[in-house]
Amino acid sequence: MKKKTLAKNSKEFDRRFDSGEDIHDLIDMSRAAVLRHGKKVRITLDTAESLVKDIDEIRKRIGVDRGALIKVWLHEKVKQEKSVKSQKRQEKIRSRSSIHIFFLPTAPLASEDRKCIYACLPPSLRLHRC
């Protein structure tokens, strides 16, 4: 029996899977894990009938049920919001930890030097252009 060659990248793996090739030999099942996301909670959602029809059109086109599609969309949106919140928190930490050094020149500065110094100031300290 001929051993299958491993896929060189994810595009090749996807292509081989989509073409119907048996990919079980390409997957290391010893490292597979089942993710358990905790206790399930039932929610009720009232929404416009037109929105439900739009969701149903999409779910039929891609072949999943309505609940699964909504769960995926909710998961993606929460993940996106957490990422934005994390980025804002990191920016806030960086802005607090930065050190600003100011100096008073002993001679008049050329126009280009003034623009450079102004551009380096944090926005909260940019009172006016020189």
End-to-end CA distance of the chain: 78
- Which amino acid belongs to residue 107? A
pLDDT (tens digit per residue) in 54-98: 999 999 999 999 999 999 999 999 999 988 888 877 777 666 655
C-alpha 76: how far from chain center: 9
Contact 60, 52 (CB under 8 A): no
Query: In terms of C-beta density within 10 A (0-12 exposed, 13-18 middle, 19 or more buried), how is residue 55 classed?
Result: middle
Per-residue pLDDT at 110 exceeds 70: no
Contact 66, 56 (CB under 8 A): yes
Q: Say what the pLDDT of residue 84 is.
A: 84
Q: Which residue has the higher pLDDT, 10 or 46?
A: 46
Q: Which residue has the higher pLDDT, 128 or 36?
A: 36
Percent of the chain whose predicted confidence (pLDDT) is above 70: 68
> Is the full-model pTM beyond 0.75?
no
Secondary structure letter of residue 56 according to DSSP? H
Q: How confident is the model at residue 101 (pLDDT cuts 50, 70, 90)?
A: low
- Residue appearing with tokens 């969701």: 55
